[in-house]
Amino acid sequence: MRYWLMKSEPETYSIDDLKREGFSAWEGVRNYQARNFMRDEMRVGDLALFYHSNAKPSGVAGICRVCHENIPDKTAFDTKSEYYDPKSKKNDPRWMMVEVEFVEKFPEVISIQTLRETRGLEDMVVLKKGSRLSITPLKKEEFEMIHKMAKKH
């Protein structure tokens, strides 16, 4: 099993939306490195921290699990979608996605400031200056440490 951090702006899609719906496609990712994580590395059963970005506060809001892997992102073929890509073809898709299912909502968001101040989390990609990737790998220890922090709140 691998561990991930997946970012979403809560105004677009939040942990509450995922909790209400139960599962969701992680669509619309238009960064090749993030796409490659979903296409090549994410597997059913992997766990991810659900991170609210551009929020007050930005931070980890809960946990989701990959429930379907390596699916062509249908928004790339939809001319009405903001994620439409005319170079992506149904028989040769450029953009891939995963589906995730709800696991847990934390009692309160663990802020990026708290993550920065927590010893043992210094190497998290989300904490690196200039990091903008919407999906990043985590070490098991980082995932477990953040999950334990959430239980104490």
45-57 pLDDT, tens per residue? 999 999 999 999 9
Q: How many domains does the chain have?
A: 1
Q: Could you give the CA distance from residue 133 to residue 130 in angstroms, rounded to a whole number? A: 9
Q: Which residue range is the domain that position 66 belongs to? A: 3-152
Mean pLDDT of 18-34: 97
Q: Could you give the CA distance from residue 75 to residue 96 in angstroms, rounded to a whole number? A: 10
Domain CATH code at residue 125: 3.10.590.10
Nearest to 4 by CA among 46, 40, 34: 46
- pLDDT above 90 (res 152): no
pTM as predicted: 0.95
- pLDDT above 70 (res 153): no
Main-chain dihedrals φ then ψ at residue 37, nearest 5 degrees: -60, -50
- pLDDT above 80 (res 38): yes
**pLDDT recorded at residue 131:** 82
Q: How many CB atoms lie under 10 A from the CB of residue 84? A: 12
Q: Confidence band (pLDDT; 50, 70, 90) for 74? A: very high
